[in-house]
Structure 1
Amino acid sequence: MAATPPTAERGSRLDLLRGLCGGAVHLPGDAGYDRARLPWNLQVDARPAAVAYPAFPDEVATVVRAAAAAGLRVAPMGTGHGAPPLSGRLGDAVLLRTSALTELHVDTDRQTARVGAGVLWGDVVERAGEVGLAARHMSSPSVGVVGSSLGGGISWYARRHGLQCSALTAIEVVLADGSFVRATGHDDLLWAARGGGGFGVVTAVEFDLLPIATAFAGLLAWDWRHAERVLRAWADWTRETPEDVTTVARLFQAPDQPDLPAGLRGRQVVVVDGAVLGPPGRAAQLLAPLRALRPELDTFHVARADSLPRLHLDPEAPTVAHASSVLLDDLPEEAVEALVAAAGPRSGSGLVDLEVRQLGGALARPSPRGGALDRLDGAFLVLGVGIADEPAGLASLRRDTTRIFAALARWASSGLYLPMVDQANDGRRGLSPTAWERLAAIRAAADPEGRFVVPHEGSAAQPADA
């Protein structure tokens, strides 16, 4: 990309940013700078050259052009749930916060949604639920729609209906030269947006909704001394379940918080949560083998689709969180034993959550629409999540996930699901070689100077922590 101007000149040009976005631009030293730069994931202490809060697509374009004039890169960010891969890389960038782009429209007849880059999944699910529709939402209502859609998106309906990125039918994006583009159909930019991103500032997306008003959803919980027995039975059960079933098995060290169910609060438990589509009677039959294991807590019931974003009990308020994941090709008995030994009772693990997500079904088949990420190669995704009081407490959580994943290495895939990996990785590990080659060409054409900061670059180099 173009060389950065000398410090004095850049400082002068940065001053020109102050009047943009109706004054919603914060520079280092400004009273609002520290608050403006904080992402949802508070482990990140990024200090960008400026923070801008545009409210309209034309303001986004103005910021992008101004950043280029100042020799700065641009890092789009909605909520900042996925901010950790950007650590240490924003010193020469304008952090462009999209939270004010809050357009939201649900078309009941077409069963579609149009969503601005600042909209959260909870808002979409609530609006869609009012008319008997559902979205391929993430496991927390506080996650941004656009960012998670560009990365992939695994929902409670994923094994039947695939990735959220495959549901995209249109995007609107500001490119590196400040131009505004709408991409639909077979446009390369829409193909890239389906799991690729990193070529501009996406200001709005449109996507299909699902004609789902209810699902048989909930959780089963046992004391975690039963972890090996339950996880072995669950792994065997997943091999026979139809695509209407999407579940997650978890070793959950639940904090003692009043917003959690009383039967879980402050306890160490093994949990299976998820959703089953179809008639309740059939759903109950499918769950019968797990219920035969006599869980202490059973909340499965016919649930409104708009209640599912809170099913997983994810924290919603900003927090210091660590997350990392690995894809597994299989989960035989030996793998279950290794997982429980590394993360269960007597392991010493400090992770609040070690979960195994059931994949397969529609997630394993190429999406008919195509896209940079059109499927997930792996039978399971293992995700480690830790919560710390302050960033300094993250080191032990990282050691725990490293140790757990090492124990599972025999069954691990070579690929990664990058939206659930905190540490910046080689972006090529998230896509097939063919998809990566096409994505790289699209990015080079749309952003020839590398103006936009990409969370996972096409290099194995690891950036320093912020």
Structure 2
Amino acid sequence: MASKDFPAVEGSTYVPGDEGYDAELAGFNTAYAHRPSVVVAARTAEDVRAAVTYAREHRLSVAVQATGHGLSVANEGGVVISTRELDGVRIDVKARTAWIEAGVQWGRVIEEAARFGLAPLSGSFPGVGAVSYTLGGGIGILAREFGYAADHLKAAELVTADGELRTVDAASDPELLWALRGAGHNFGVVTAIEIGLVPVERVYGGQLVFDGEHAEQLMRTWAAWTRTVPETVSSGIGFVVYPDIPVLPDVLRGRYVATVSVAFNGPAEEGERLVAPLRAVATPLKDGIREMPYTDSAEIYSDPPFPHAYTSTNALLSGIDEDALASVLKAGGPDADIMCVLGVRHLGGALARTPEDGGSALGHRDAAYLVQLITPIEGNDSLAVARSVQDDLHTTLGARTLGSALAFTFADGERATEAQTRSGYEAADYERLARLKGRLDPGNLFRNNRNIVPVTD
């Protein structure tokens, strides 16, 4: 049951106190939860249109949730549109594209595309929503070879703030398509997208896990190694002190470990040669690097599959020198005041190139590395400690920081300021986005996100 004046929809609607209200709002990141006046579990694009129209008429903000991985700014008292039931996928083999509805997770797209020898530019975890991931940028498993997922956005169906359902592509509205590639959450509720696929069936990759005593040596070796590898190699390095709990395997329980994750689109024999310098650092606790079908690519980063509470921050760096290496390890290592999952991604390659078919709003393409700090949290006390650790990281990285990757910043609530949003874009591009926002959403209906403040004439 929902508000009496809410229009009829094919899906379900809920208000606080209804059975199903909390379940529909439950997400993967449990640090925050939306508490809206109305939840619309949309079953069709027309349901989305009705929800947006209702929100505009009642001057309520709109938030969208598919899987709830990237929740940052909670919607209090507005309208939340749940897209989980929008679950269609269509593969066009000849065009090498996929049409994906807003509730679809990457795992489904991966499986559907694999039937035709194709792959999407998916991320490290197959349970992430494919549409929201793409709109935010998307640094995928093979990102250095193929670029951001957003760069391969061909078209989008969305409901804009005026309640209109429209389809956008490079011919019909190149300006809006440009904005959707990296800032899409600000301009409407996207109900489906068309993306390009790549002809990849198998990859050589996986993880090398080392005892933390080798962390510094591994970090230095990996940093030097990244300056030599071809664009067909994408990789990241991570550091974490695992808690001493029974659910973890004995090799990890209570242990500080360093992990390199590698993905190479090429022959296994060449992959073996490329990875050899990393294997030579020390005897790994685990060597999971192998040739695998792309459908097994979740093994490359082995992200935790269960919902939990976490917050994170990140910094895009121009490079990594000796001081930066030491700063990164100190910020998230075993001496940190709270459990941290510290990661560094190698960027460059195709990520540095703007797509020729209309460009993209994504900024800081000259960044060479992405440093991310994820902190599990429980309650306000641990959140305060996490904030302090995050601040220390940014202080130590200082002038090396070009900006931030907004899609990798989670559960920051009060820190989701205009200044933070600006940090994800080039200055001129942010102003361009703000003017477009002023034309399409002058009332800032879509503000429960990395909000671009509308500029009106």
Structure 2 length as normaliser, TM-score?
A: 0.91
The residue type equivalent to 2:304 in the other structure is: P
The answer as to whether partners of 2:35 and 2:77 remain within 8 angstroms in 1 is no
> Is 1:401 matched up with 2:429?
no
Q: Deviations over 1:136-172 (max 9, x none)?
A: 1111111101111111000111011000000000100
| Within-5 A mapping of 1:33-432 | 33-84=21-72, 86-87=73-74, 90-186=75-171, 187=173, 188-197=175-184, 198-255=186-243, 263-296=251-284, 297-345=286-334, 347-369=335-357, 370-373=359-362, 376-390=365-379, 392-413=381-402, 415-422=403-410, 423=412, 424-426=416-418, 427-432=421-426
Give the CA deviation at 1:48.
Answer: 1.3
Out of 40-49 and 205-214, give the one that drifted further.
Answer: 40-49
Q: For residues 207 and 258 of structure 1, do their structure 2 counterparts lie closer, same or farther at Cα, with a shift above 3 Å needed?
A: farther
The answer as to whether partners of 1:351 and 1:400 remain within 8 angstroms in 2 is no
Q: Aligned-residue CA RMSD in angstroms?
A: 2.1
The answer as to whether partners of 1:367 and 1:375 remain within 8 angstroms in 2 is no
The answer as to whether partners of 2:156 and 2:167 remain within 8 angstroms in 1 is yes
Out of 258-267 and 132-141, give the one that drifted further.
Answer: 258-267
The answer as to whether partners of 2:315 and 2:394 remain within 8 angstroms in 1 is yes
The answer as to whether partners of 2:234 and 2:263 remain within 8 angstroms in 1 is yes
Give the CA deviation at 1:231.
Answer: 0.3
The residue type equivalent to 1:254 in the other structure is: Y
Out of 381-390 and 142-151, give the one that drifted further.
Answer: 381-390
Partners of 1:226 and 1:254 in 2: how far apart? 16
Give the CA deviation at 1:249.
Answer: 0.8
Q: For residues 73 and 389 of structure 1, do their structure 2 counterparts lie closer, same or farther at Cα, with a shift above 3 Å needed?
A: closer
Q: For residues 342 and 76 of structure 1, do their structure 2 counterparts lie closer, same or farther at Cα, with a shift above 3 Å needed?
A: closer
Q: For residues 320 and 300 of structure 1, do their structure 2 counterparts lie closer, same or farther at Cα, with a shift above 3 Å needed?
A: same
Partners of 2:130 and 2:106 in 1: how far apart? 5
Q: Deviations over 1:11-52 (max 9, x none)?
A: xx94222x6334611112223222323332111133212111
Q: Deviations over 1:436-463 (max 9, x none)?
A: 222222222222322222512246xxxx
The residue type equivalent to 1:251 in the other structure is: F
| 1:455 aligned to which of 443, 449, 452 | 449
Partners of 2:404 and 2:153 in 1: how far apart? 22
Give the CA deviation at 1:266.
Answer: 4.5
The residue type equivalent to 1:159 in the other structure is: R
Partners of 2:110 and 2:426 in 1: how far apart? 31
The answer as to whether partners of 2:205 and 2:289 remain within 8 angstroms in 1 is yes
Partners of 1:266 and 1:109 in 2: how far apart? 50
Partners of 1:68 and 1:215 in 2: how far apart? 47
Percent identical among aligned pairs is 35
Partners of 1:295 and 1:256 in 2: how far apart? 23
Partners of 1:289 and 1:429 in 2: how far apart? 35
The residue type equivalent to 1:46 in the other structure is: H
Q: Deviations over 1:241-280 (max 9, x none)?
A: 1111111111122356788676445431011112011111
Partners of 2:107 and 2:246 in 1: how far apart? 21
Structure 1 unaligned spans of 5+? 1-12, 460-466
The answer as to whether partners of 2:91 and 2:98 remain within 8 angstroms in 1 is yes
Partners of 1:81 and 1:309 in 2: how far apart? 16
Partners of 1:417 and 1:59 in 2: how far apart? 32
Partners of 2:191 and 2:121 in 1: how far apart? 19
Structure 2 unaligned spans of 5+? none
The residue type equivalent to 1:437 in the other structure is: E
- Secondary structure of 1:20's counterpart equals coil
Partners of 1:332 and 1:138 in 2: how far apart? 27
The answer as to whether partners of 1:364 and 1:376 remain within 8 angstroms in 2 is yes
The answer as to whether partners of 2:219 and 2:237 remain within 8 angstroms in 1 is yes
Q: For residues 410 and 23 of structure 1, do their structure 2 counterparts lie closer, same or farther at Cα, with a shift above 3 Å needed?
A: closer
| Within-5 A mapping of 1:25-36 | 25-36=13-24
Q: For residues 56 and 363 of structure 1, do their structure 2 counterparts lie closer, same or farther at Cα, with a shift above 3 Å needed?
A: same
- Secondary structure of 2:18's counterpart equals coil
Partners of 1:39 and 1:140 in 2: how far apart? 15
Matched length? 441
| Residue matched to 2:433 | 439
Structure 1 length as normaliser, TM-score?
A: 0.89
Partners of 1:139 and 1:180 in 2: how far apart? 32
